[in-house]
Structure 1
Amino acid sequence: MSIQKWSDRQKLDLKLPAMPWFVRQFINYKLPDLSPSSLLEYVRDYESFFGWLRAEGISQASSNAEITLLDLETLHMDSITGYRLHLTSRAESANSRITVSRKLSALRSLFHYLSQIAEDENFYPLLKRNVMAKVEIKRVHKPKDTAAKLKGKILEEDELLEFVGYILEGYGKDVEDNKQAYYAFQLNRERDACIASLILNSGLRVSEVVNLNVDDLDPNNKLLYVFRKGNNDETFKTPVYFREQAKDELMAYLTLRQTRYSTPKKEKALFVAKPNGSNEGKRMTKRAIQEMIIKYAKRFGKPYLTVHKLRHSFATDYYLQNDIYKTKEQLGHASTETTEVYAHLTDKTMSEAIERRQDS
């Protein structure tokens, strides 16, 4: 089990006792099919919904664990509309349309299970009436819209190599008057360039990068063995290829991983950091990698660039040279529908494609 999945499973186990019995039953039913990370999000969504029911006086339960099936069975559509408004109009933290859609989908899954799958001792559905079956959840983000939002916010063509080169050299020149920043640059530049290069030459997710161990790397065959998101087989790591361009950065980093970060032999993580006050290297966190990329991106003149947009950058570049099915496999998408975003290319790329077609 990956580090992230193990952590989320621990959090899930801590939260479940505070849920009604039928939610715990639903989570156990879903456990073989969904990752602990997905189920943890479900439970958080139920916490929010049940808390709102109690705050509004729709349920008289004194805690979320005491919410009853009757509370859910007798909900009016007005209540669901009210909850949707609550999610979208809270002044302190209004949710995006995508988040609202996800939260309502989580409720629909629970209500569907209770009304269509789960049974009582007399073989009747646990929930006799399913108000969520009336709720239409529209598809929020279409691939074309996502592509439009990415325009100008990812690396294109030569910028992929330039960004890695900037981490290795350019950033140091920009911060050489700042002793603390320059010291951190000298300490971490090979590691940071390696991480950026690996994502830009393989399309790995940041969670997949964090979970990599040294033993997962096969540099001779340009392969990594990765716990893919959505793959619930805890024993299987998917082989993922990376481009030759990432090999130099990987080998340079590996030569100093143990000595520079005082990494103990027991530490299996590929990418390590030595936290302040610590005497030895430990696995880098997801947050540390995200903040690291943002730091370089701002100085590079791409303030919108994030670690996930590095993945988008690779995917766009890769798609130009391959078909949608190869791109889907390389990125680890569950369906080509997700990969369609890379089919909606820039006007320049589309116009060039038309010209190539005419010449052929």
Structure 2
Amino acid sequence: MFLLAISNQQEYYEKRLEEMLKEMPHFVEKYVDDKLYYRSPLTLFNYVRNFKDFFEWLVTEGIVICDSVKNFPVDALENLSLDDVNNYFKFLSRKKYVKGNELQQLNERTINQHKSALRSLFKYLTVEAELSNGKAYFERNVMAKVPVKKVKETLSERARKITEKIFIGDMDVEFLDFVKNEYPASLSPSQKRFFERDKERDFAILSMFLGSGIRLSELSNLRLKDIDFSSNQISIIRKGGKKDTIAATPSSIEDLRAYLDVRKEKYKAADGDNEYVFVKRYKGKAAPLSNRAIENIVYKYTKAFGKRMSPHKLRHTYATNLAKETGGDIPLIMTQLGHTDSDTSLLYVHSTIERQREAAEKLDARRKHRKK
């Protein structure tokens, strides 16, 4: 049923998706089977989880009678009223969950994700699927009547929020200097042993995020054959399985080379072309680092620096710096970051507006100085 996995992340979510489908009705299995070529296992896993929440709510509320989600009748979806569906999204909007020590509600973006998932399922069942009789599962699509409310934010506001969460100015350089020169002094002897063991690997990971704008899944799936030291480029697999080649800063490539010089000795790692770049030592052998392990590495060092950040925030930092250095070259930013929507790249241009204002004031100072 499933396509051959091309990455750790895809393989991981294919397995989780396969497990979840064992609890789902046949029409959801068919939906996933038909959609897997077009959507990633991660997206489909999240969609199926949304379907499960919806089915369970319908059963709990007594709107649909069945003994389990596995036996959920497809015709029950055809007969749902608009009130039933709207009440579900009202339920989501009032749902409380604990984050940290705070009680929070689902935001509009998350509710929109639930709507998108269910709209996709209903469209499939009413338009795209074809049974043996040549017809779809049913005709009435109540979910098409549910609007997706756009979260109203200007690019400037979205950019402002990004700027608050990333390294600004030379903070990225200061952060790397901190990891290399100051962080070890804060460690206990036992902590220092682990740091010394992994310092080249961990530093290369941080440097690659800040020196190329690479995504987490792209970095975790790097193979030795993907690195071109002569041109300071790396080959990656983008979302949707698309191959691409991007530039990396010479410094980040040098940091990567320094790690590879000790990789075989420290992790007992093979050096074949298809071997993963970033590995750990597990039961005496090298094993690829998972996305979660890489996230934890980033969290650990950024938290010690005083600003806990995710790999995605390091990517945002790189993109903002790239926008500044290129004067807001949107096509270049789109190419380097793998964006398909120019509005996403524009976020980083907007996040440099404050710097542009400061630059304008400095330029104007020359004129004022001339008048004196």
TM over 0.5: yes
Deviations 1:173-228 (Å, cap 9, x if unpaired)? 222xx122221221222111111111111000111111111121111111111111
1:1-360 matched pairs, under 5 angstroms? 1-92=6-97, 94-140=105-151, 142=153, 143-175=155-187, 178-229=188-239, 231-232=240-241, 237-264=243-270, 268-275=275-282, 278-303=283-308, 305-322=309-326, 323-346=329-352, 348-352=354-358, 354=360
8 A Cα contact 1:117 1:125, kept in partner = yes
Separation in structure 2 between the aligned mates of residue 179 and residue 89 of structure 1, nearest angstrom: 49
1:249 partner SS: helix
8 A Cα contact 2:224 2:271, kept in partner = no
8 A Cα contact 2:209 2:315, kept in partner = yes
- The residue identity in structure 2 corresponding to 1:131 is V
- The residue identity in structure 1 corresponding to 2:211 is N
Deviations 1:154-175 (Å, cap 9, x if unpaired)? 1123222221122122100222
Separation in structure 1 between the aligned mates of residue 7 and residue 256 of structure 2, nearest angstrom: 22
Measured after TM superposition, the shift of residue 99 of structure 1 is 1.6
1:137 partner SS: coil
Deviations 1:32-64 (Å, cap 9, x if unpaired)? 211222112211111111111111111112122
Measured after TM superposition, the shift of residue 124 of structure 1 is 4.1
**1:280/1:169 Cα in 2 relative to 1: closer, same or farther (>3 Å)?**
farther
Separation in structure 2 between the aligned mates of residue 318 and residue 74 of structure 1, nearest angstrom: 52
- The residue identity in structure 1 corresponding to 2:346 is E
Deviations 1:292-320 (Å, cap 9, x if unpaired)? 112111221223x2221110000000011
**1:281/1:123 Cα in 2 relative to 1: closer, same or farther (>3 Å)?**
closer
8 A Cα contact 1:168 1:190, kept in partner = no
Measured after TM superposition, the shift of residue 17 of structure 1 is 3.7
How high is the sequence identity, in percent, across the aligned residues? 33
Separation in structure 2 between the aligned mates of residue 109 and residue 141 of structure 1, nearest angstrom: 23
TM-score by length of 1: 0.90
2:325 partner SS: coil
2:235 partner SS: strand
TM-score by length of 2: 0.87
8 A Cα contact 2:96 2:106, kept in partner = no
How many residues get paired?
351
The 10-residue stretch of structure 1 (311-320 or 118-127) with the greater mean CA deviation from structure 2: 118-127
Measured after TM superposition, the shift of residue 140 of structure 1 is 2.8
Separation in structure 2 between the aligned mates of residue 330 and residue 14 of structure 1, nearest angstrom: 36
8 A Cα contact 1:202 1:243, kept in partner = yes
8 A Cα contact 1:111 1:127, kept in partner = no
